Structure 1
Amino acid sequence: MRNIVPFLMLLLGIVGCEGDLDLAPISDAGSNGFYNTEDDFIQAINGTYETLRFHPDRYVDLDECRSDNIYTPGQSGVRDWNAINNFQNTLATLGTIRNVWNDCFNGIMRANTVLDRLEENGSVISDANLRARIEGEAKFLRSLLYFDMVKWFGKLPLFESFVTPSEALSIGRSPVEDIYALIISDLEYAAANLPASYGGADAGRATSMAAKSILAKVYLTRSGPELHPDGPCLGTNEYGQALDLLNEVINSNRFEMLDDYAAIFDYNNEGNKEIVWDIQYISGGLGVGALFPTAYYDEAWARVNLPFAGGNPGDGTKDISEDLLSAYAAGDLRVEPTFLLDYTDDAGTLIDAQFYDKFMDVSKAGGDRFDWPINYPLIRYTDILMMKAECILQGASGSQDEVDAIVNAVRQRAGLAPVSNVSLDMLLEERRKEFAGENTRWNVLVRTGKVLDVMNAWIAQEDASGKMEQVTANDIIYPIPQDQLDVKRGLYEQNPGY
């Protein structure tokens, strides 16, 4: 569980009330005499981690529900994730789109405030290593949020320091290349200045290993074919750069694949050797746990199995796609820890459910649906290995034997027979099963250029409701929230197709 006590938005004066604009919900965090001690800076960077609290829920709705892993057209179509799943062109007014924009820029502005104050008053931190660490943490968090946003929205307003709401009114959207330049610079600094690990009360902070892992993913994503002129893929062919970083993580010998797949997600085994970095939550019914497990399950199941309300209502259940379920071979040991396939509701009816329960342990449920005491694994070691295989298959140095060995290690843990001459399509199919419910599928399809062909073939096969639209290049990124367009007409242009 998170030991660094991240949810410090309650510390009034660190990053207080919003301005008038949702464009960048920020405040002048230093006006009340804060940032005058070393502890002030530590509290402030902890408050920046707090903005990640609901970030995994965004991954569920914007990534997993967008992919061929989830089929949720909805009965009435009133849930945000139904519209996202159906590729509607009216998404600009959704609360989910608005909230992810605001939450990400809130985090970016908190990071920027820490960085500004370090430059102005960082001398109060007598330990140079601690000062560099706090700067590295702020840049890591800023880069993580900007990387997610560039994948979701394409061009973005580029904030490298604290700005007031009135100043934000003159800052338009910068090209994706410029956003990436800041992301890469931030992650390079974080990789060079953050420790490889922490102990005690600092467990859960950003590490150099996490920075290298995300930077590798940045290079992988930039390298993908440019299907959208303002999308996250630039065709840069930087697979070699990604591979070098992945090998640094691998050769650190700090991580390993666990023998038992289910043990990776065990509430009693957090921080295991598989986890490179996770978003952490506090346990004990303190009201600062995770919400993301609630984003997966049926409300009808919760009424019987949990002491609190929550979950997806009957008109908007997030069903696992039949195509995904049928992809698993008989005896695949990943099925049971990943899916719940039936349950009995409060009327005694057996429900043919199909939802993820990978992150749920009913015996550990917190005080309410916002309080699951389970960390979110943002980077797993198996992902590091499979990204290495992807780099090799995309032309980076390495051999077919290395690719086959990586995939067969994953299959062996799943109780499956080995394969040979693994192709990119074979690798992606194995990835899909390995990371089901971990919200990686959509981005992998985008960065490998497979997204249009795979998604449209899947819709033709799976969409019995007839509610899903054909996927076009415009759907690779989301619209700018409508309320952002309304703040100042002409400041931003809407992404095409919306």
Structure 2
Amino acid sequence: MKKIILSTIAAAVLLSACNKELNQVPISTSTTATFYKQPSDFLQGVSAAYSALHNYPVRLANLSEIRSDNIYGVSVTVRDWDPINDFSPSLPANAYVEEAWQADFNGIFKCNAVLDQLKTNGSIVGSTALANRLQAEAQFLRAFYYFDLVRYFGKLPVVDHVLTAAESNSVGQSSVADVYKLIIADLQYAISILPTAYTGTDVGRATKYSAEGLLAEVYMARSGPTYGIEGPGLNSNEWNTALPLLNDIINSGQFTFNTNYANIFSYSNQSPQASGNREAVFDVMYTSGISGSSDLYGASYPWTLAPNGYFSGPLKDNKSNGSLEIIPVSNNLVSSYAAADVRKAVTVFTAGYTGSNGSVENRPFFKKWLDVTKIPTASRFDWGINFIAIRYTDILMLKAECILHGATGTQADVDGIVNQVRNRAGLTPTANVTLDQLFDERRREFADEGSRWFDLQRSGNLLTIMNAWRAIDDPNGAIKPVVANYIIYPVPQSQLNAAPGLYTQNPGY
């Protein structure tokens, strides 16, 4: 994290505590029960809960971008991303699927450890206001991790406290509706307590507006169609419930629509809620150059969808930045950008390159978060750019989506938001924007930011769009027909093996 830095001792205590049983719902250890002895321990405990965000943007790349019509990632040698991209039913043991479950429940464990200790030993904190804020931060983060999980897996075990080993083998999956109950309650509490902004070293912590933005996304995900599966959509029609949350962020005056698209992703434009990146409602913060700690503090996501051959070839970089093979941007996405659209050059590398072995590669790849003048010197895991998890432009476009679903507002409001985005992109204005056009604009605006698969879920047109895309980008049939069961991922095999019979595998896998 950039501002919220864990102490080495706290990180070691909490990371060792939650890594012992990653093949189960995280359990308790005596270590966490004896750690909380002074006020700073609670601050460090919450910071450890933030640290579980570290791989979040990489997960979005692997499970949202690669799954979607933004990527055609069929490899020469079968890689972990291939079965994600081609809708293989044989995903339960896939490394990316395993990582998502384990990392998010790892974060939930850390949140529960803090919340349990605040409940029993909170008086140690000294300040009721600080104790309440730390509780609100932990509940925001627990909601964040559960929302990530429910959009990927559907039904989940609901764990709101640290479990014993015996308990962890008896908590089965709850309904999606019950998972959402915990998420919503956590975020409503967070909104009631969290400050609107921070100063000094606390900049980067979750604010009231972070929680409002996340809760709006939750209501909108719930409002999406069910597709006949137990996935994130409940067809709940909560567009008018989401809208006031979005409006509160917009009306706060704390965030700004950046008129320069490239500047949003600039390494010199990092601080949220300050003189820097005011597009960032909530971001995952990284710091490079901390000796011996790059895996914990620096970022690797800038190169996740860029090929190693680009770094080792024209850039003469030998630190293995980049994926093992190219993971190309789909032709369908590349061709969807108008000639004048400035977002294409920011988002997609199309110039081609010659690899270190002399091979020529002309397929495009994502590079929105890459600045080749900022390649870290020590480790490929040590890039120093924050990842914007909730972006102000997204808040605006989510508002337009709510209005198009019947929430309070007008067509003029929708058109005004979309044309603000198009104007920044160098495009001419449009009128009478429809939902299909809005999602099409979102595809280009947020490409390489991990939102595409969730947008498709919410659109109601996921199956139609994905199967039409297969015919365009995959004429040889490497990608299997997309059916409703593949809207969510399977329960990881490690979880099924840990307690046989406890979980039911999602249909289709």
TM range (shorter): over 0.9
Report the identity percentage.
44
Distance in 1 (CA, whole Å) between partners of 2:69 and 2:145 is 24
The one of 343, 348, 366 aligned to 1:356: 366
Q: Deviations over 1:23-50 (max 9, x none)?
A: 1244426556321211000011111111
Q: Which residue of 2 aligns with 1:432?
A: 443
Separation in 2, partners of 1:395, 1:118: 42
Equivalent position SS for 1:12: helix
Give the 3 Å change call, closer, same or farther, for CA 300–179 of structure 1 in structure 2: same
1:68 corresponds to 2:77: no
Matched, 1:448 2:459: yes
Does residue 236 of structure 2 align to residue 236 of structure 1?
Answer: yes
The amino acid that maps onto 1:63 is: S
Runs of 4+ in structure 1 deviating by more than 6 angstroms, as ranges, are none
- RMSD, matched Cα: 1.5
Provide the C-alpha distance between the structure 2 equivalents of 1:41 and 1:107, rounded to a whole number of angstroms. 15
CA distance in 1, matches of 2:303, 2:209: 29
Q: What is the alpha-carbon distance in structure 2 between the residues aligned to residue 439 and residue 21 of structure 1?
A: 25
For 2:178, the equivalent position in structure 1 comes to 178
Q: Tell me the CA shift for residue 450 of structure 1.
A: 1.2
Residue in 1 that maps onto 2:251:
251
Change (3 A) 1:20 1:264: closer
2:120 maps to 120
Aligned equivalent of 1:22? 23
Secondary structure in 1 aligned to 2:188? Answer: helix
SS of the residue corresponding to residue 334 of structure 2 reads: helix
The 1:11–1:226 alpha-carbon spacing in structure 2 relative to 1, beyond 3 Å, is: closer
Task: Report the Cα offset of residue 313 of structure 1.
Answer: 2.2
User: Aligned in 2, Cα 1:230/1:384: closer, same or farther, shift over 3 Å?
Assistant: same
Residue range with higher mean Cα deviation, 292-301 or 113-122: 292-301
Is residue 73–residue 465 contact of structure 1 (8 Å, CA) maintained in 2? no
The 3 A distance-change label for structure 1 pair 9 and 478 is farther
- Residue 337 of structure 1 aligns with which residue? 346
| CA shift in 2, pair 1:359/1:86, >3 Å | same
* Range that drifts further, 339-348 or 300-309: 339-348
Q: Give 5+ residue unaligned stretches, structure 1.
A: none
Task: Return the alpha-carbon distance in structure 1 between the equivalents of residues 34 and 141 of structure 2.
Answer: 24
Q: Give 1:149 deviation, angstroms.
A: 0.3
Partner of 1:457: 468
State whether structure 2 residue 89 is matched by structure 1 residue 89: yes
Q: 2:430 aligns with which of 405, 416, 419?
A: 419
How far, CA to CA, are the matches of 1:83 and 1:494 in structure 2? Answer: 18
Whether the aligned pair in 2 keeps the contact of 1:64 and 1:437 (CA below 8 Å) is yes
Q: Distance in 2 between matches of 1:439 and 1:20?
A: 29
Q: Which residue of 1 aligns with 2:274?
A: none
1:100 CA drift (Å)? 1.4
Contact 1:191/1:208 (8 A) holds in 2: yes
CA distance in 1, matches of 2:310, 2:442: 28
Within the candidate set 282, 294, 309, 2:287 is matched to 282
Letter in 2 for 1:344: T
Match of 1:151 in 2: 151
Q: 1:6, 1:450 → 2: CA distance?
A: 43
Equivalent position to 1:369, from 358, 376, 380:
380
Provide the C-alpha distance between the structure 2 equivalents of 1:347 and 1:105, rounded to a whole number of angstroms.
42
Q: Deviations over 1:160-213 (max 9, x none)?
A: 100022211011000000000000000111111111111111111111101000
Rounded Cα–Cα distance in structure 2 between residues aligned with 1:458 and 1:220: 25
Residue aligning to 1:292: 301
Partners of 2:25 and 2:12 in 1: CA distance:
18
8 Å Cα contact 1:16-1:26 kept in structure 2: no
1:51 CA displacement: 1.1
Report Cα offsets for 1:271-305 as digits up to 9, x if no partner. Answer: 21111110000122541211111211111111132
Say how many residue pairs are matched: 495
* Alpha-carbon contact 1:224-1:449 (below 8 Å) kept: yes
Distance 1:436 1:21, change over 3 A: closer
Equivalent-residue separation in structure 1 for 2:30 and 2:139 (angstroms): 18
One-letter code aligned to 2:188: E
Displacement of 1:20 after TM fit? 4.4
* Shift in CA distance, 21/81, structure 1 to aligned 2, threshold 3 Å: closer
> C-alpha distance in 2, partners of 1:487/1:349?
45
In the alignment, residue 105 of structure 2 is paired with which amino acid? F
| TM-superposition CA deviations, 1:439-483 (whole Å, max 9, x none) | 101101101211000000001111034210111110011000111
Please give the alpha-carbon distance, in whole angstroms, between the structure 1 residues aligned to 2:115 and 2:467.
44
SS of equivalent residue, structure 2 residue 190: helix
Distance apart, 1:417 and its partner CA: 0.4
Is residue 340–residue 356 contact of structure 1 (8 Å, CA) maintained in 2? yes
1:82-111, Cα deviation, whole Å (9 max, x unpaired): 110000000001121112111111110110
What is the Cα deviation at residue 347 of structure 1? 4.3
Residue 427 of structure 1: CA displacement? 0.6
Instruction: For 2:455, give the aligned amino acid.
Output: V
How far, CA to CA, are the matches of 1:6 and 1:56 in structure 2? 20
Find 1:302's aligned residue among 304, 307, 311. 311
Taking a change above 3 Å as real, the CA distance of residues 197 and 31 of structure 1, as seen in their structure-2 partners, is closer
Instruction: Quote the residue 2:227 is aligned against.
Output: 227
Alignment equivalent of 2:278, drawn from 273, 276, 282: 273
- Aligned-pair CA distance for 1:368: 1.7
Distance in 2 separating the partners of 1:5 and 1:23: 28
Q: Which secondary structure state, in structure 2, belongs to the residue aligned with residue 278 of structure 1? A: strand
Q: Is the CA contact 1:320–1:356 (under 8 Å) kept in the aligned structure 2?
A: yes
Matched, 1:167 2:172: no
The answer to whether the Cα contact below 8 Å between 1:14 and 1:29 also exists between their aligned partners in 2 is no
Shift of 1:15: 4.6
Q: Does 1:470 align with 2:471?
A: no
8 Å Cα contact 1:13/1:32 also seen in 2: no
Corresponding residue for residue 498 of structure 2: 487
Give distance in 2, aligned partners of 1:478 and 1:166. Answer: 27
What SS does structure 2 have at the residue aligned with 1:417?
A: coil
- Alpha-carbon distance in structure 2 between the residues aligned to 1:422 and 1:455: 22
One-letter amino acid matched to 2:5: V
Shift of 1:365: 1.8
Q: Distance in 1 between matches of 2:364 and 2:30?
A: 46
Contact 2:140 2:187 in 1 (8 A): yes
1:75 deviates by 2.1
